[in-house]
Amino acid sequence: MIDNQKENEKLSMKHKYHFNRSIRVGIVFLLACPLQTKADNNWSYHQKSDSLNNQTYSTAQSPLPRPGLYDDMTLEIVCKDHKLQAVINADDLIASQNSDFKVEYQIDKNPPVTLSMKTFPDSKRRGYNESDAKRIANDLLTGQAVFVRINTMIRTVLSSSIPLDNIAEPIGQVLKDCGLNASTKSTVELPYDLTTFEQAFNQLSSEQKQNVLIKIKELMKTSH
């Protein structure tokens, strides 16, 4: 009887040891694995070195896209050699080196903007734009997310939705590196629709409303 009790105590201690060890291993595993938190959506600022000419440049990088939902694409706003660039990176083929391609981006529910980019001389999966870089940077500062679409040389469409969380500081720093100031005013001009007209019309005085209606009436007559 005593021997059985001792044997049970040994088994109990052994099980307790393995249980505690499993808990410790689980905690270490959780600490080692990156958690999918909101911080994963943050933009980040980096200073890098170009190995070809040993030149330092700065960049504001978008987060990696959520896996499985869209194509793997990221955006960057870069200050290099005192020039501002908007850079797009894709895991898939876009166009041959030094080739133009079309990009469409849409901030939240604003009208989409279409512009041209050019692949780098050494890449078929990365492109840049300098002439519209400041506009793109300013537009990115105004929204919550940007939807990007690329028409590739093989007539496929790459698309991705990129969050704009905590983007102000990284892009602001890159613009500062290039001697530029950030502007929070969007350069995307919204269309003048009936809802916008009605809102403005309701703020007019009775006399002003009558004058507007007279002009609309004259305009309608000339349109027939």
Side chain identity, residue 39? A
* Contact in structure between 111 and 188 (CB atoms under 8 Å): yes
**Distance, CA of 125 to CA of 135 (rounded, Å):** 23
Listed by start position, the domains of the chain span 1-34, 45-177
Question: Torsion-angle region of residue 98: left (phi > 0), alpha (psi -120 to 50) or beta?
Answer: left
Question: Which tops the pLDDT comparison, 93 or 199?
Answer: 93
Q: pLDDT tens for residues 77-103? A: 999 988 999 999 998 999 999 999 999
Residue 54 has pLDDT above 60, yes or no: yes
- What pLDDT, on the 0 to 100 scale, is given for residue 46? 93
**Distance, CA of 18 to CA of 14 (rounded, Å):** 6
Q: pLDDT tens for residues 16-45? A: 554 455 444 444 443 444 444 444 678 999
Helix (H, G, I), strand (E, B) or coil at 50: strand
| Phi and psi torsions of 162, nearest 5° | -115, 125
**Distance, CA of 141 to CA of 184 (rounded, Å):** 6
Q: What's the whole-number mean pLDDT along residues 104-133? A: 94
Q: What's the whole-number mean pLDDT along residues 42-58? A: 85
Question: Which tops the pLDDT comparison, 103 or 156?
Answer: 103
**Burial class (CB within 10 angstroms; exposed 0-12, middle 13-18, buried 19+) of 46:** middle
Q: Would you tell me which CATH number, out of the four given (3.40.50.150, 2.60.40.1880, 3.10.129.10, 3.50.50.60), belongs to the domain 45-177? A: 2.60.40.1880
Residue 167 has pLDDT above 80, yes or no: yes
Residue 197 has pLDDT above 70, yes or no: yes
